[in-house]
């Protein structure tokens, strides 16, 4: 898989998980209790793969193209700032979920708002990268750039969509296999 294919694949996978989270938001809004264990696995994956590998990987990509084009610089800076914001939002959402999983009483409507805001933030970020950043980068990049980046960037193992699935995501993996996720 090339770097661009990897980026697109990661984004497709993340959108699939955001669809699952969106369904949880609807359930919560209708007063039902969703499967919080599954919710925990989705958020954990987004923090452990997207925040810990995918975003730092993109940041390295941004470093490579920095200074080539003022418009591209602007959008790369914006994406990088969003990576930081998402890190904070993910950590605070995980804390709230941890409270629920440990039976602490927290207002469910506040948690639902937080979850919904998280999904919106992640979706808007993917839209910015897919529709603005990547087309711009593709226009500017040469074959030499992609060759250099293939050499420079290491590929982390994806613990959910990669060749070896972590047992940490067993419920989520089953959910994805069920095909009932609008992915």
Residues lying near Fe ion in the complex (CB under 5 A) are found at: 58, 129
Nearer to Fe ion (CB atom), residue 106 or residue 138? 138
Q: How far is the CB of 55 from Fe ion (least distance, A)?
A: 5
Nearer to Fe ion (CB atom), residue 109 or residue 127? 127
Nearer to Fe ion (CB atom), residue 40 or residue 129? 129
Nearer to Fe ion (CB atom), residue 109 or residue 124? 124
Q: How far is the CB of 25 from Fe ion (least distance, A)?
A: 22
Distance CA 10, CA 3 (A): 10
Q: How far is the CB of 7 from Fe ion (least distance, A)?
A: 6
Q: How far is the CB of 129 from Fe ion (least distance, A)?
A: 5
């Amino acid at each position: 898989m090339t770097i661009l294919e990897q980026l697109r694949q990661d984004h497709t996978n993340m959108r699939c998980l955001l669809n699952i989270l969106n369904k949880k938001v609807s359930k919560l809004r209708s007063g039902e209790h969703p499967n919080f264990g599954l919710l925990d696995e989705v958020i954990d994956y987004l923090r452990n793969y997207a925040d810990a590998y995918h975003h730092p990987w993109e940041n390295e990509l941004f470093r490579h193209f920095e200074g080539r084009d003022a418009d591209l610089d602007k959008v790369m800076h914006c994406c990088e700032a969003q990576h930081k914001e998402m890190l904070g939002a993910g950590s605070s959402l995980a804390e709230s979920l941890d409270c629920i999983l440990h039976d602490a009483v927290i207002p469910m409507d506040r948690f639902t708002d937080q979850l919904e805001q998280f999904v919106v933030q992640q979706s808007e970020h993917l839209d910015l990268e897919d529709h603005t950043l990547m087309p711009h980068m593709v226009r500017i990049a040469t074959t030499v750039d992609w060759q250099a980046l293939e050499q420079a960037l290491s590929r982390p193992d994806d613990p959910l969509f990669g060749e070896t699935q972590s047992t940490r995501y067993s419920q989520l993996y089953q959910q994805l296999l069920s095909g009932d996720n609008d992915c």
